[in-house]
Structure 1
Amino acid sequence: MIPLRACITKYPSACLRKRCVSDSKSRLLHSRAKKYGRRRLVAQSIGNQVSDKPEKSPVETSGPTPSSRGGLLSRFSRTRDVEGGTQHFQSNGVRDAAITALAGVAVLFFGGVAYISWYKKKVLDKIELAFAPGYDPALELATHGAKTSSRTHGIDDLDLDSDGPWTQHLRRKEQDILDRIINGEETGHYYVLLGPKGVGKTTMIFDAMQPIQADGVSVCDAHPDLEVFRLRLGKALNYEFNEDSQTGLFQRRDPREGGPALDIERAMNKLEKVALRCAKKRGRPFVLIFNNIHYLHNDEEGRNMLLQLQQHAESWAASGILTVVFGSDDFWPYQALRKTSNRMQVLCIYDLSSTEAHQASLRMRPSHPTTSTTHSRERTSSVIELIGGRLSYLNKTMRSKDPLEMAKHLLEVEKAWLVSQIGLIPDCDDDVMDEQKWSSCSWLLLREFVKRRIEQERHQLARIEAGELSAEDAAGLPLPSIPYWQCRQIMTRADYMEDLDRANIISIDIHHEVRPDSELILHAARQVVEEEGFDELLDGVRARVDEIESLHRTRELTFKDLKPGDRLRLAVDKGGALLLEEGK
């Protein structure tokens, strides 16, 4: 047997050649493993090393030489180094991916928190900007209309659509208290402006806002649709109800999911924060005006919205940070607010008196160059006798070339409208019974107003004849009034009062005094009532309504299987005595 050392000595070139090839392959695969980190390269390296081993001869089975033993150890150590480097590389990749994901989540979270905080502060700043002096949407529209109307000179004789500044040259007695409210000098209360349509409530508000450039004041018009009212409130407060935010990226709920009532509550809460923040540096409260709140429906939804606004008005008035002003043409909002009011003050706005109407007409007439200046005081008195002291009617008549002709035209239009609303229909069908019931009850009340006006004129004429009153002072009788409870008795239906008030046929004040809505309504009703045969027509319609109602209460009994000569016996037994006798 040849010793191992002798074998290596005998074949040195072959052993060195195989060893060099194996070492070069190992170094190449090791560099590839470091570059790509693939496990299959390690497996290939091991396989190549095993395949490159020389076949052992019988002489070589006795054991490896020290040199060959060292070569094998070095090759296996290099193989373990390649595997460890790959595992180390893979563990570093997983750790880097996890760190990157956590960093992204952290940036997203803290970025979202920072954005929401910034957005909330921006919302409060925008609401505060809505009360800053300068631009106000409602005031800008009102002043722009006044400027354009002052430059208009083409006015026809019967121009009903021309609108101008009603109180441009007139300051009413209620303007002083309204100026103090708008300026923020009256604290601790919230206010309701109550009066019929056209008396000048909104114009007085704008007149109070103009000197201060709407500093601390915002105006919002009500609407029957709460979604529209929500948008109008957002416009007045410069608040978008979170619709302009990007919080949808953070899976926030839809801001409109709760409905308009919840959105309005959010807006009120934001406004409260702004009012608290600005109360100290301003020294006076904000003023928020809800105009035409009678446009809200008098149902559960509308009354709930009115109560929601009133609750905030009560708390803000108690703290002195914000004053709320409600404006209404109808009486029902006052009734709804009165139930839960503690700090509410009511300002009733009436028509101008005869003297005030004369002064207003003389001031309004020369301000329009298209009107004729040759008009006498008697013609002006005739105009005021027809239209009264309603500012909207004074504006239309005094802007025309012939005020008296304009007043007569307005009376014809009002009479035609009144008859179309509550006209009587003789021998009406049962389909219009409810309408004729309402119309007949309405004419009962209007006829009573006409009777009281005739009584006023008779009493005034008696005083003039007795020398107690001069003819000049006798001009301009006030509208006749009837207490609310007595109107219920006259009409026999209490629920019709609200419908007449909503139709602007009557007006009700806080003293529960019922009056015709205007002098035009009273004159139109008087012309209808004084027509020949009106009382008979009214009584005939009421009789027809009673007849139809009695027919509806009548029941028809039909008997079958009766032969000629058969008899029926009917008895009215209210106490049940006949049933007891039959039972016995």
Structure 2
Amino acid sequence: MTTCIGLGTVFVGGTFYLKWYKVNVLDKIELAFEAGYDPALELVRFSTSTMVASEDSDEFEEDEPLSTWTEHLRRKEQDVIDRIIEGEEPGYYFMFLGPKGCGKGTMIFNSMAAIQADGVTLCEAHPDLEVFRLRLGKVLNFEFNEDTQAGLFQRRDPPERGPALDIEIALGKLEKVALRCAKRRGKPFVLVINNIHHFRNNEEGRDLILQLQQKAEAWAAGGILTLVFSSDDFWPFHVMRKSASRMHVISVADLEQSEAMRALTRMRRDASRNSASPEEIRSIVDVVGGRLSYLNRAARSKDMEAMAKHMLDVEKGWILSRIGLIPDCDDDQKWSSCSWLLLKEFVKMRRAQEKERDEAIASGELKPEDVGDLPLPAISWYKCRQIMTRADFMEDLDRANISIDINHNVRPDSMLTLQAAIEVIEEAGFEELLNDVRNRIHEIESLRRTRELTFKDVDKGDMIRLSVDKGGADLIATIRGRNDDDDDDDDD
């Protein structure tokens, strides 16, 4: 009897524990979307409240707040992002696409801060799926059942699962929470997956993106959760486009020249640096362009011109380290030479833009004060492949020196990249070096296509004669005709 009572108590206790644990898991996930604490947002708040640029150096010191970019300029995309993060755009999921440093993450964090991260959380992507699994569990406040004591009430071992299956379980739990909270809140939860270009562009990474996209489509159709993707590179959009029916893409680009000049002026003033003249501001923007990260770095520098020159030298060194041409090199330099062919075309288009502008000013069609910003040269994707003569190099270039928009237009990654390419291409001897490298590539490819003939049983003094008879086809036809005539004579 005592044994039966003990077993019954264990059974009833285990049953209640399992039910309580399942409910507690959902409650913890719901707490992750409550207003207040968000891990990613807290890190940003801490960094912006403890660092400030020193007035006498380019280092950062503590004790004063560091203003964010949007305090200097509210971008036109900010209103749309605010509505998305607030959950006011149900029925869709979104992708923010743009080069690194243009302000995508900052606008997302500012939108989250404005609502105290109420109903929204952010997870950073990672190439290792195990790491991404842990990050997703952290932001969702989900332990993947690793904290359960259910093993006391069951004999079987927990199943061995991979990261993809764990992620699917976490998304399933999130779906249950979103369903039960949607009616009460009156708007969907928002989950941001930031920097999805960090996923590997292989079968495993593409499968994960498809897994997330399938959930995003279902959640958008139900209006219970809005999934937001952010990417610096183009390839995730190319993967997701095939299955996208409810996806909206928001392109975030660099600021135009007038906006960049206003932003740089305000950044310079708020950084407690010496004021700069409009001519100096324009000269800096002409070098670094409208990339917010570059403008912020230049504004907080003691000498903006020196900092702009330094960033240009760094960008030039980066380009040369990735695709620098090496004369008389036997290694394969196809990627380098094809990349320079594309950059050379960008430089050619930029010079044509400048020439057209100067001619318009000289003819009086355009006043100098009315001169607007020259857009970065753009070439369509298919034409880039024709210029490079290769179709498989665009992805590597997308990660290095170019940016691709949703219209499949290819541009230099930034104005800084274009200026660095101009310096390299217009150096004396570059054209000759490029031609020499391309000729060397052709020689190596010719050697690879060469076949070796081996003759056996050849003694000393023997002679081998090889000849090329370009009229061989006529000779064969003549021989065949004679053979046919001989056959006819034999029949007679």
One fold, TM greater than 0.5? Answer: yes
Is 1:105 the counterpart of 2:2? The answer is no
| Residues 114 and 154 of structure 1, relative CA distance in 2, 3 Å threshold | farther
TM-aligned CA distance change 1:302 to 1:164, over 3 Å: farther
Larger RCO of the pair (alpha carbons < 8 Å, separation 6+): 2
Matched, 1:438 2:335: yes
Quick check: 1:331–1:509 contact (8 Å CA) kept in 2? Answer: yes
Q: Which residue of 2 aligns with 1:566?
A: 462
- The alignment covers a number of residue pairs equal to 474
Q: Check the 8 A contact 1:190/1:313 in 2, yes or no.
A: yes
Deviation larger for 465-474 or 139-148: 465-474
2:298 & 2:33 partners in 1: Cα distance?
37
- CA positional deviation for 1:163: 8.1
Shift of 1:388: 0.3
Letter of the 1:537 counterpart: L
Alignment of 1:538 with 2:440, yes or no, is: no
Change (3 A) 1:257 1:577: farther
Give the CA RMSD over aligned residues.
Answer: 2.2
Aligned partner of 1:300 in structure 2 is 203
Structure ID, larger Rg: 1
In structure 1, give the amino acid aligned to 2:453.
L
Distance in 1 (CA, whole Å) between partners of 2:187 and 2:29 is 17
Matched, 1:528 2:424: yes
> 2:122 matched to 1:219?
yes
Q: TM-score, normalised by structure 1?
A: 0.78
- Asked whether the equivalents of residues 163 and 396 of structure 1 are also in contact (C-alpha less than 8 Å), the reply is no
Does structure 1 residue 418 correspond to structure 2 residue 314?
no
- Residue in structure 2 matched with residue 84 of structure 1 by the alignment: none
Q: Deviations over 1:103-143 (max 9, x none)?
A: 22222222111111111100000000000000001111111
Q: 2:133 aligns with which of 230, 240, 259?
A: 230
Change (3 A) 1:427 1:119: same
Name which of 266, 283, 295 aligns with 1:382. 283
Instruction: Give the Cα–Cα distance (whole angstroms) in 2 for the partners of residues 120 and 216 of structure 1.
Output: 21
Alpha-carbon distance between aligned partners in 1 of 2:186 and 2:346, rounded to the nearest angstrom: 50
Measured at CA, do residues 255 and 135 of structure 1 come closer, stay the same or move farther in structure 2, by a change above 3 Å? farther
**What amino acid sits opposite 1:413 in the alignment?**
V
Distance between the aligned counterparts of 1:511 and 1:337, measured in 2?
15
Residue 427 (1) aligns with residue 328 (2): yes
Q: Distance in 1 between matches of 2:270 and 2:347?
A: 36
| Contact persistence 2:123–2:139 (CA under 8 A) | yes
Q: CA deviation at 1:348?
A: 0.2
CA distance in 1, matches of 2:317, 2:158: 49
Aligned partners of 2:49, 2:365: CA distance in 1, in Å?
47
Contact 1:385 1:476 in 2 (8 A): no
Aligned match of 2:152: 249
Moved more, 561-570 or 533-542: 561-570
Contact 1:131 1:217 in 2 (8 A): yes
Deviation at 1:149, TM superposition (A): 2.2
The change in CA–CA distance for 1:263 and 1:256 in structure 2 (over 3 A counts) is: farther
1:302 is displaced (CA, Å) by: 0.3
- Segments of 5+ residues of structure 1 without an aligned counterpart are 1-98
1:175 paired with 2:52, answer no
Quote the offset at 1:233 in angstroms. 0.3
- Report how far residue 210 of structure 1 moved: 1.1
How many Å separate the matches in 2 of 1:292 and 1:256? 31
Specify the alignment match of 1:340 in structure 2.
Answer: 243
Q: 1:409 to 1:158 in 2, by over 3 A?
A: farther
Which residue matches 1:490? 387
CA drift of 1:472 comes to 2.7
| CA displacement at 1:254 relative to structure 2 | 5.7
**Matching of residue 135 in structure 1 with residue 37 in structure 2:** yes
Does structure 2 retain, via aligned residues, the 8 Å contact 1:149–1:164? no
Moved more, 397-406 or 326-335: 397-406
The answer to whether the Cα contact below 8 Å between 2:49 and 2:66 also exists between their aligned partners in 1 is no
The answer on whether the counterparts of 1:464 and 1:471 sit within 8 Å (CA) in structure 2 is yes
Superposition TM-score, scaled by structure 2 size: 0.92
Where does residue 285 of structure 1 map in the other structure? Answer: 188
Q: Which amino acid aligns with 1:509?
A: D
Unpaired runs of at least 5, structure 2: 488-492
Q: Provide the C-alpha distance between the structure 2 equivalents of 1:169 and 1:484, rounded to a whole number of angstroms.
A: 35
- Percent of aligned pairs sharing the same letter: 61
Return the offset for 1:155.
Answer: 5.5
SS of corresponding position for 2:68: coil
